[in-house]
Structure 1
Amino acid sequence: MIYCGNEKGSALLISLLLIAMLSILAIMTVKSSNTDIDLTFNQLNTDKTFYIAEAGARRAIVQLNADPTWTAGYSSVAFNNGTYTVQIIDSSANAGLKDTIVIISSGWTISAQAVIEMAVIPAYNSPFKSALFGDDIVELKNGMSTDSYNSDSGSYAATQDTLCGDVGSNAGIVMHNGSNVGGDVVTSSDSSSLDINAGATVTGDIKYNVPKETLDPIPQSEFDIAEAYNDNVSGISGSYSYNPSSHAFETSSTVTLSDGTYYFSSLILKNSAELLIAPGAAVKIYVTGDIEIKNSGGVNAGGTPGDLMFLSQGDLVLKNSGEIYAVFYNPDGDADLRNSSDFYGSIVANTIIVHNKAGFHYDRSLGSKRLGGNIGFAAVAWRQRS
C-alpha cells in the first residue's frame, strides 16, 4: 500500500483554516450581538426619557386644571428611574400667546434626554350646540319644525337654512306625523329610543349611541350671588309688578331691561306683554322658579338670542303665538313650547315638548357661546424637540 504524505498535510491545513474561519465568524456574531444589545438599550432609554417627559407635561395639565394661575413648573422631579423638569410659558411671559399656555417638559435618564413642547388652551362649557337638547325625552308634535340661521351674518330671512336645527337627547326622541327637523336627530341611547313616525321629516342624519352629553346644573352659588347683587331695581323700565321680598316679577305691558344681571323667583309675561333688551345690552336672568310667557307675549323680539340668557331652576312655558329670542338652560327643568309659538336661539332642558305648528329657529352663532368660566385645559398641539 502506498501512503501519500502530502495529502495528510493538505487535510490538516484545510482543517486549521476551517477552525480559524469559524472562530472569526463566532467573534463577529458576538460583536454583532453586543452591538444589537447596545442599540436596543439606547432605544429603550430614548423611549423611556420620552415617556418621562410626557409624564411631566401631563402632570402640568392636571395642575393647571386645579389652579389656572399656576406657573411655577417643576424642577428635577424623580420619576421611573429618571427625572423631569417642567417650564410654563403663558401670556405673562409672552403676550402673543393670549389664552395659550406652552408647557416645556424635559425628561432625563442616565444616558438620554427628551424634550416635549405642548400647547394647551382653556376649555369652556359650550352647551348650546343644538336647537333643542334634552337630558330626557324630547317630543315633537304635528306640524312643528326646526331650522337655523346665523345672527352674526345677518337676519333670519337672509341666513335661514334647513340644516343645523339639530335635536338631541341623552334619552329618547319622539317625532309625530308631520313634524320636521331641519337638521340632525341625535341620541346617546340606542336606536330603540328613537320613535320617528313615517310621516315625520329629518333633513340631516339620524344618529344614536353617540357619547352622552354632560349637563351640569347651574351652581347654587351663582344664584346666591345674583340674589345679592342684581339690577332688579335700577335696570328695569316700564310698567311691571315686582316684589323685592319674594323676587316675583310679572308684567302685562312693555318693559325694557338694561345691561346686567337679574334675579327672580318667577317671571310672568301676561297676554301680549313684551320684555325688551336695551340696544347693545347683554342680560342674564336667574330664575329660581318658572318662566311663563302667555299668549302672544314677546321676549327680546327681533333681537339677538345670545344677548339674553335664562339660567333657571324651574320650567319654561311659551304659550300660543308667543315669541322668544334667547337661550334657556336648566338640565333639571322642562320646556313647553305651545301651538304656533316661535323660539329663536337654543334650549337645554330635562324634557322638551314642542306642540303643533310651533317653530324653533336655532341661531348657529350660539355654538361657541360659553356657560360659566374655564372648566380646565386641553392639549391642542405638541412636538418633540431634537
Structure 2
Amino acid sequence: MNFKYRKKGLALVIILIFILVLTIAAASFMLISSSDIRMTRSQNNSTKAFYIAEAGLNRALYALQKDLNSNPTNPSWADGTIDGIVCGPDTSNFYTLYASTALGNGDYTVTLKNTANTTEIYVRATGTCSGNSRTIEAFVTAYNIGVWNNAIFAGAGTGGTLINGDVEVAGSVHILGNGLASTDFALNLSGGASITNNYDGMPAVFTTRVPACPTTTFGGESVQSLSANLRVKNGLVGLGGTSSVGEANVAGNSYKETLDHVYVTDGYGGTKGSDSVYSDNGYSNTYDLGDSVEFPSLSDPYTDGGGTSYATYQAYLKANALVISDPAQLAVLNNIKQTSNFSYTDGTNTIAMDGDGHLTISGIVYVQEGDLDFSDAPGRNTFTYTGKGSILVEGDATATDGEVNIDTNMLSSNTFPTSSALGIMTPGQITFNEANINCMGAFYGETKMIVKKQTNIAGTLVSNLIDMGSNVPSVFQIPTLHTNLPSGMINSTTNWVVSTSTWQEI
C-alpha cells in the first residue's frame, strides 16, 4: 500500500516537474518571441528611418536643382538662399535647410555645409522613426552639361572612331557615340596624346587674351583646375603610346593634374587601357547622364524666346540674320584674306574687314549657298577680330552642306570670350589646314571637324566626327565661353544638373 502511494507520489512529482519545465519553456519562448518582435520592430523602424532620411536627401537635391535653374548664368549655393530659403553659407559647420519635418511615422532634418566652390555642397539628412535614427551624407556637385562647356563635344558618326589622333586637350571631353557598338572606339588616343585639367603649355598668344585659369584647393594646395571630366556614353576609350587621360598628381606645383571625374560605360582598349587613367573618381564609373544630353542639330525644330516656332534651328538663324546671297559678296567670303576690304550690314548684323587683317563681327551672318575661307595674304599670317557674332555657312549651290576652311591665325583683339567672341557654324565640315596656327572661337561643324596639323585652338569644337590627325594639335577649353557665346550659336542654353559625387551613411 505504501509502495503504491509512493509510486503515485513519484508520478505526481514527475508531472509537476514536467509542467514546470513546460511552463519555463513556454515563458522562455514567449520572452524570446517578445524579444524577436521588439528586435523586428526596431529593425523595421530603423529601415523606415533610413527611407525617411533618403526622402529628406531627395527633397534637398530637388531644391538644389531648382536653385540652379533660378540663375543658370551665375548659379551659386553660397549666396545665402537655397530655393528661396534663407540659410548659410558656411564652409566650417553644417547649417539647417529643413528643420524637423514630419513624414509618415517619423520625421527628417536636412543640413548643409558649403565648400570653397559655390557649386559644390555637403548634404546631411537624418531620418527618425520611433526612437531610431539613420543619417546619410552626400557630396553634391552641379554640372553644366551644355555642349559648349567642353573642349570637345562629339555626337554620332557613321561608325568607327569619333575622335582620334595625337591630340592634347585641356578641359572636358564629352562623347555620346550614338550608333557605336561596345567594341567600337569612340576615342582613340595615340602617341603622346592627353586630356589634362590645366593651362600648362598654353601658347602665350592665348594666355594674354583669355581669363586666368580657375583655381581650386586640391591636396591642401591652391592649383589651376578646369574641373575637367571625360564622359563617353557609347564606345571604347583607346589609349596607346604614352597617351593618358589625366596625369599623375605632382605635389608642390600650381596645377591639378588629375581629372575631376571619368565616366566611361564600355571600358578601355589600346596598349595602355585603364592603366593610363588618372581621375579623382577612378576609371570604372559608367556614363552618368542617361539620355538627358543629345547632339544639337541645325535640323532640329526650334521655338524662340518670344514663342515663334521654326521648322529648323537653321531656319531661325536665317530669319534673324544678315543673309548674304549676292554672288559677288559670296565670292569675297569664300576667299577672305588680311587685305580684304568690305562691309556688309543690315543695321543689326554686321561682318566687315578693314583691309589690314581686322575683322568686325556682330549679330548673326547667314552665308546662303556659299562657303567660307580664311587664308593668308602674302607676308601676312594673322586675323584679329572685334565684337561678338556668329556665322552660319550653308554651302554652295552644288553641295549638300557647307564647308569652312581656316588656314591662318584667328585671334580675338581683346579678351576672349568676354569682350569679343567669334562663332562659326555649318551643317557640313570645318577644316583647319595649316601647321602652327592659333585660333580662338566656338566652332560647330555638324558633319565633321578636321584639324590636320599642329593647330592650337582656344574655345570649343562641336561635331559628330572629329579627326585630330597625327601632328599634335591642341584644344584649350575656356570655361567662360558657355556664358559668353556670340549671338545665335546653337544650343546656347545653359543646362545644369545635380550629381551626387559621393554618398555614405554616417
Q: Which category of TM-score, normalised to the shorter sequence, fits these structures?
A: 0.5 to 0.7
Is contact 2:164-2:467 (8 Å) kept? no
Query: Is 2:134 the partner of 1:99?
Result: no
TM value normalised by structure 1: 0.61
1:333 shift after superposition: 2.1
In the alignment, which residue of structure 1 is the partner of 2:131? Answer: 111
TM value normalised by structure 2: 0.49
Letter in 1 for 2:34: N
Could you list the per-position Cα deviations for residues 127-165 of structure 1 after superposition, in whole angstroms to 9, with x for gaps in the alignment? 576767233337789xx972133669xxxxxxxxxxx99
Could you list the per-position Cα deviations for residues 81-108 of structure 1 after superposition, in whole angstroms to 9, with x for gaps in the alignment? 33334345557xxxx5743334343433
In the alignment, which residue of structure 2 is the partner of 1:272? Answer: 376
Q: 1:46 to 1:309 in 2, by over 3 A?
A: farther
Query: Is 2:267 the partner of 1:247?
Result: no
In the alignment, which residue of structure 1 is the partner of 2:154? Answer: 133
Letter in 2 for 1:23: T
Letter in 2 for 1:133: A
In the alignment, which residue of structure 2 is the partner of 1:321? Answer: 434
Could you list the per-position Cα deviations for residues 168-199 of structure 1 after superposition, in whole angstroms to 9, with x for gaps in the alignment? 732359x9xxx985569x975679xxxxxxxx
Q: Distance in 2 between matches of 1:7 and 1:320?
A: 116
Q: Distance in 1 between matches of 2:137 and 2:385?
A: 46
Could you list the per-position Cα deviations for residues 56-99 of structure 1 after superposition, in whole angstroms to 9, with x for gaps in the alignment? 121121122122342524455443333334345557xxxx5743
Q: 1:138 to 1:285 in 2, by over 3 A?
A: farther
More helix by share: 1
1:16 shift after superposition: 1.5
In the alignment, which residue of structure 1 is the partner of 2:28? Answer: 28
SS at 1:32's partner residue?
A: helix
Q: Distance in 1 between matches of 2:28 and 2:363?
A: 85
Q: 1:89 to 1:203 in 2, by over 3 A?
A: closer
Letter in 1 for 2:383: L
Letter in 2 for 1:118: A
Please list every run of 5 or more consecutive structure 1 residues that lacks an aligned counterpart in the other structure: 153-163, 192-200, 229-236
1:361 to 464, 473, 477: 473
Is contact 2:365-2:392 (8 Å) kept? yes
1:369 shift after superposition: 8.0
Q: Which moved more, 1:285-294 or 1:113-122?
A: 285-294
Is contact 1:165-1:361 (8 Å) kept? no
Question: Which protein shows a greater Rg?
Answer: 1
Q: Distance in 2 between matches of 1:329 and 1:5?
A: 112
In the alignment, which residue of structure 2 is the partner of 1:350? Answer: 464
SS at 1:378's partner residue?
A: strand
1:33 shift after superposition: 0.6
Q: 1:243 to 1:55 in 2, by over 3 A?
A: same
In the alignment, which residue of structure 1 is the partner of 2:497? Answer: 376
1:27 shift after superposition: 0.3
In the alignment, which residue of structure 1 is the partner of 2:334? Answer: none
1:171 to 158, 176, 179: 179
1:38 shift after superposition: 0.6
1:20 shift after superposition: 0.6
In the alignment, which residue of structure 2 is the partner of 1:147? Answer: 166
Total equivalences in the alignment: 330
In the alignment, which residue of structure 1 is the partner of 2:83? Answer: 70
Q: Distance in 1 between matches of 2:29 and 2:461?
A: 73
Q: Which has the higher contact order (CA 8 A, sep 6+)?
A: 1
Letter in 1 for 2:179: A
In the alignment, which residue of structure 2 is the partner of 1:155? Answer: none
Could you list the per-position Cα deviations for residues 223-252 of structure 1 after superposition, in whole angstroms to 9, with x for gaps in the alignment? 99xx99xxxxxxxx9965342327353657
Is contact 1:343-1:359 (8 Å) kept? no
1:287 to 391, 412, 428: 391
SS at 1:169's partner residue?
A: coil
Paired residues for 1:296-335 under 5 Å: 296-300=407-411, 311-315=423-427, 316-318=429-431, 320-321=433-434, 323=437, 325-326=439-440, 328=442, 330=444, 333-335=446-448
SS at 2:24's partner residue?
A: helix
Q: Distance in 2 between matches of 1:2 and 1:107?
A: 72
Letter in 2 for 1:121: T
Is contact 1:125-1:371 (8 Å) kept? no
Could you list the per-position Cα deviations for residues 17-53 of structure 1 after superposition, in whole angstroms to 9, with x for gaps in the alignment? 1221121111011011101101110121122112112
Is contact 2:167-2:189 (8 Å) kept? no
Please list every run of 5 or more consecutive structure 2 residues that lacks an aligned counterpart in the other structure: 69-81, 86-96, 195-230, 237-268, 275-285, 306-315, 322-337, 395-401, 484-493
Paired residues for 1:175-186 under 5 Å: 181-182=190-191
Q: Distance in 2 between matches of 1:170 and 1:126?
A: 17
Q: 1:369 to 1:102 in 2, by over 3 A?
A: same
SS at 1:265's partner residue?
A: strand
Percent of aligned pairs sharing the same letter: 18
